[in-house]
Amino acid sequence: MSDFAKQLKDYRLTTAEILYHMPDHPAVLQSYIWQELDIAPRFPVLHKFLDFWTLNLDGKLHSVRVASTALIKPAEFRLANVSLTLQ
């Protein structure tokens, strides 16, 4: 499915900041930014990625911060209280 078709089916641009412990130095946190189209609020694509992470990667997860926004939304209009005259 194309990205545009996903957006029409209520997929949203989702960004996750993943903090994890470095495998060689567990006291040190490393940051990883993940971004993909996903469905809020359940985030099945993000959960699938995090499941893959915990099963296959050595860095233990510390925390995940998630932000999501719709890319296709109604247009916003703002009226200006200005009158201009051209001659």
Nearest alpha-carbon partner for 41 in 71, 73, 14: 14
- Residue 11 domain-assigned (yes or no): yes
Whole-angstrom distance, CA of residue 48 vs CA of residue 14: 14
User: What is the pLDDT tens value at each position of the chain, 87 positions in all?
Assistant: 888 888 888 889 999 999 999 999 999 999 999 999 999 999 999 999 999 999 999 999 999 999 999 887 777 777 778 777 777
Q: How many structural domains does the chain have?
A: 1
* Residue 61 lies in domain: 3-69
DSSP state of 60: P
Whole-angstrom distance, CA of residue 34 vs CA of residue 21: 16
Q: Note the pTM of the prediction, 2 decimals.
A: 0.78
The residues, any chain, with a CB within 8 Å of residue 36's CB and separated by 6 or more, are 14, 45, 46, 49
Q: What pLDDT is attached to residue 15?
A: 97
Q: What pLDDT is attached to residue 52?
A: 97
Whole-angstrom distance, CA of residue 39 vs CA of residue 22: 29
Q: What pLDDT is attached to residue 85?
A: 77
- Residue 77 domain-assigned (yes or no): no
